[in-house]
């Protein structure tokens, strides 16, 4: 799990860098900040998804189409969690703006990793595995 967490962090840092650089460049090119952020988030999402599917969770046997919609939901949940926590921390006023941002972003990353690992990129269980017992097998053991 630690290796997977490290890989997840590396992909996350790359996606964050892509998001920030594209957003910065678009804003500097006179794009409206909200539109620039939306496009930057979308491109960073693609980088993140491809990185997590092919690197962070490469050992998971999950289809790209199944993981895509789940990871999109995970990304949106993580973004919303980050924003809500940031608003709460800023309203408390006990931490600086920068520390509040680091805490909210770090917390959202942990949540996103957990949801990605346990749901979005999880290997589906196969029917007929060792957990399934035939009804006749239960009768002979009684």
Written as one string, the DSSP assignment of 16-85 is HHHHHHHHHHHHHTT--HHHHHHHHHHHHHHHHHHHIIIIITTTS---HHHHHHHHHHHHHHHHHHHHHH
Measured between alpha carbons, how far is 73 from 67 in angstroms, rounded to an integer? 10
- Greater confidence (125 vs 67) lies with 67
Tokens for 110, please give them.
Answer: 């942990």
Distance, in Å, from the CA atom of 140 to the CA atom of 142, rounded to the nearest integer, reads 6
Kindly report the pTM of this predicted structure.
0.71
**Contact (CB, 8 A) for 34 and 54:** no
Specify the pLDDT at position 140.
Answer: 46
Q: What is the pLDDT of residues 29-38, one digit of tens each?
A: 998 888 888 8
What pLDDT, on the 0 to 100 scale, is given for residue 27?
A: 87
Percent of the chain at pLDDT exceeding 70: 87
Which tokens hold the place of 142? 């009684």
Q: How many CB atoms lie within 10 A of CB 109?
A: 18
> Is the pLDDT assigned to residue 134 strictly greater than 60?
no
- pLDDT band for position 28 (cuts 50, 70, 90): very high
């Amino acid at each position: 799990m630690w290796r997977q967490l490290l890989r997840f962090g590396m992909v996350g840092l790359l996606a964050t860098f892509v998001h920030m650089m594209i957003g910065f460049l678009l804003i500097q090119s006179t794009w409206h900040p909200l539109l620039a952020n939306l496009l930057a988030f979308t491109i960073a999402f693609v980088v993140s998804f491809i990185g997590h599917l092919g690197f962070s969770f490469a050992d998971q046997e999950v289809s790209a189409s199944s993981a895509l919609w789940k990871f999109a939901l995970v990304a949106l949940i993580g973004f919303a969690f980050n924003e809500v926590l940031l608003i709460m921390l800023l309203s408390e006023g006990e931490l600086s703006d920068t520390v509040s941002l680091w805490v909210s972003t770090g917390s959202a990353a942990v949540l996103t990793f957990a949801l990605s690992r346990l749901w979005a990129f999880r290997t589906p269980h196969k029917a007929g595995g060792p957990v399934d017992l035939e009804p006749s097998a239960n009768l002979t053991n009684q």
